[in-house]
Amino acid sequence: MIRALIAFLGWFALAGLNDVPPVNGALIADEGYPQRLSEFRFFLDDYAQTPNARVHSYALNTPLFSDYAAKQRWVYVPEGQQALYNDDGTFDFPVGSAFIKSFGYPADFRDPDGEIRLIETRVLLRREEGWVALPYVWNEDGSDAVLRRAGRRMPVSWIDEAGETQQVSYRVPNQNQCKSCHQMNGEIELIGPNARNLNNGTRLAQWVDWSILDRAPENAPRVPVWDDPADGTLDERARAYLDVNCAHCHRRESGASNSGLFLTYDEDDPVARGIRKRPVAAGRGSGGFDFSIAPGRPGESILLHRMISSDPGVQMPELGREIIHREGVALIRAYIAAMEPQG
Site residues (CB under 8 A) for other proteins?
Answer: 148-153, 169, 171, 174-177, 179-180, 186, 252, 255, 257-258, 260, 270-272, 276-291, 302, 311-314, 318-319, 322, 343
DSSP 218: T
Q: How far is the CB of 289 from other proteins (least distance, A)?
A: 5
Neighbours of 233 (CB within 10 A): 12
What backbone torsions phi and psi does residue 78 show, to the nearest 5 degrees? -60, 150
Task: Give the nearest distance from C-beta 264 to other proteins in angstroms.
Answer: 15
CB closer to other proteins, 174 vs 211: 174
Distance CA 241, CA 227 (A): 9
Q: Which is nearer to other proteins, 192 or 260 (CB)?
A: 260
Nearer to other proteins, 158 or 170 (CB): 170
**How many whole angstroms separate alpha carbon 296 and alpha carbon 339?**
5
Long-range contact set of residues 132-141: C-beta below 8 Å, sequence gap at least 24: 132/188, 133/175, 133/178, 133/179, 133/182, 133/188, 134/33, 134/175, 134/178, 135/172, 135/173, 135/174, 135/175, 135/178, 136/36, 136/37, 137/172, 138/104
Closer residue to other proteins, CB minimum distance, 106 or 270: 270
Of the two residues 53 and 147, which places its CB atom closer to other proteins in the complex?
147
Task: Tell me how far, at minimum, the Cβ of 2 lies from other proteins, in Å.
Answer: 49
- C-alpha span between 203 and 89 (Å, rounded): 14
DSSP helix/strand/coil, 246: helix
Q: What is the DSSP letter of 299?
A: G
Residue with smaller CB distance to other proteins, 52 or 183: 183
Burial class (CB in 10 A: 0-12, 13-18, 19+), 261: buried
Give least dist CB 255 to other proteins, A.
Answer: 7
* In the complex, minimum distance from the CB of residue 127 to other proteins, in angstroms, rounded to a whole number: 16
Which C-beta is closer to other proteins: that of 118 or that of 172?
A: 172
In whole angstroms, how close is the CB of 277 to other proteins at the nearest point?
Answer: 6
Given the complex with other proteins, which of 219 and 258 has the nearer CB atom? 258
Shortest distance in whole angstroms from residue 335 CB to other proteins: 20
Residue 111 CB burial class (10 angstroms; 0-12, 13-18, ≥19)? exposed
Count how many Cα atoms sit within 13 Å of the Cα of residue 281 in the half-sphere of its side chain.
Answer: 6
Give the shortest CB-172-to-other proteins separation in angstroms.
10
173 CB burial (10 A radius; 0-12, 13-18, 19+): buried
Return the number of the residue (50 or 342) whose C-beta is nearest other proteins. 342
Shortest distance, CB of residue 133 to other proteins, whole angstroms? 11
CA distance 246 to 174: 19
320, 60 Cβ separation under 8 angstroms: no
